[in-house]
Amino acid sequence: MTSAWFLRFGVIFALIGIALGIYMGKAHDFTLTTVHAHINLVGWVSFFLAGLFYAVRPAADNRLAVAHIAAALPGMISLTTGIFGSVTGQAWGPPVAILGAFLVLAGFLLLTINVFRHGEGPRQA
């Protein structure tokens, strides 16, 4: 069932990223471009791809997958919040971004283990 959570959060991050992009374009203020990029790539793309992987490889939707989302979701929120703080000159920004980056990394390491354990399936022509 982890696949469904990754897919749901993926599309939520897509909507947030699109909304931020529209706001930046309308305001002609691209200060938050880095935040926008991370929301779209780490949030939308990575979460949605992980959800698809867990959906097509049900054996991989296991405790490692649960640990993956438990690290990746707060990591994604911390990373993008910290980047926002950094680009707007907040002292708390860099440490929050670093914490988030390490949580995202931990999630990707768990996904990597799962892909290597369960990524190969029957081949079809």
pLDDT at 125 over 90: no
pLDDT at 121 over 70: no
Extents of the domains making up the chain: 2-118
Encode pLDDT of 6-58 as tens digits.
Answer: 999 999 999 999 999 999 999 999 999 999 999 999 999 999 999 999 999 99
The reported pLDDT for the residue numbered 1 is 85
The DSSP code sequence of 20-53 is: HHHHHHHHT--TTHHHHHHIIIIIIIIHHHHHHH
Please state, in angstroms and rounded to a whole number, the distance separating the CA atoms of residues 22 and 123.
42
Residues in the chain, overall count: 125
Please state, in angstroms and rounded to a whole number, the distance separating the CA atoms of residues 93 and 17.
19
The reported pLDDT for the residue numbered 120 is 79
The reported pLDDT for the residue numbered 42 is 95
Encode pLDDT of 74-103 as tens digits.
Answer: 999 999 999 999 999 999 999 999 999 999
- The one-letter amino acid code at 74 reads P
